[in-house]
Amino acid sequence: MDYLVEIREFHQLHVAPYTGEPKGCLDFEIRGLEKSFGFELPLAYKQYLQWMGKDYRGVFVGCDWFIANIEDNNALVPELLAENNIRFKLPEHYLCFFSHQGYMAAWFELPKVDDNPLAWFYHEAMNMERPVGEERFTEILLRDMRGLAAHLPNIYKHTT
C-alpha cells in the first residue's frame, strides 16, 4: 500500500514546480536507521524516507524532517517537554520525525503499532498543556507540506 498517494499528488501540483522533485534516502540508509533503533519502521515513514528523506533544499528547508535530523530530534523531545514543565510520559522507544527550531516536535512510538502510526505533536508557542496524539504520521506530513507550500509562490516570485 502506498500511504503517500495524496501527499505525492499535492507535491507534484503545488511544490515540485518551485522546488523540483524531492531527494530520497537509499534503502541501505533506511535499514541502517532500523538497525540503530532496533525496530522495523512503519511503512508510511519508510515510504517518506525513500521519497524525500534527504530533500534538504525542498519544501521542508529549514525544518528538521530528514534522516540526518533524527538523532538530534529524539534528544530534543524530553528537553522541550521539560523546559515547558510538561508532565508527559514518553514511551520507552520513539522516533521524532520532525522538529522546528527547538520549539515544536512530532514523534511516534516504537516498535510500530501499524504502518501509518498515530503521532504525538507538541508546539510550545501554542501553550499546550500536553502533546496531542490525534493525527497519523501522513496527516502531519500533509498538513505541514500544505502550510509551507502556500508560501512558495511568494518566495519564488522574489527570487526570479
Give the DSSP H or E segment for 138.
helix 137-149
Nearest alpha carbon to residue 75 among 42, 107, 34: 107
CB 20 within 8 A of CB 52: no
Number of folded domains in the chain?
1
Identify the band that residue 131 occupies on the pLDDT scale cut at 50, 70 and 90: very high
CB 107 within 8 A of CB 97: yes
Reported as a single tens digit per residue, the pLDDT across 75-102 is 999 999 999 999 999 999 999 999 999 9
> How far from chain centre, in Å, is Cα 48?
9
Reported as a single tens digit per residue, the pLDDT across 18-56 is 999 999 999 999 999 999 999 999 999 999 999 999 999
Measured distance CA(133)–CA(156) in Å, rounded: 34
CB 156 within 8 A of CB 18: yes
pLDDT at 155 over 90: no
Output the domain CATH number for residue 152.
3.40.1580.10
pLDDT in the model for residue 158:
60
pTM, full prediction: 0.94
The residue segments making up the domain with residue 150 are 5-159
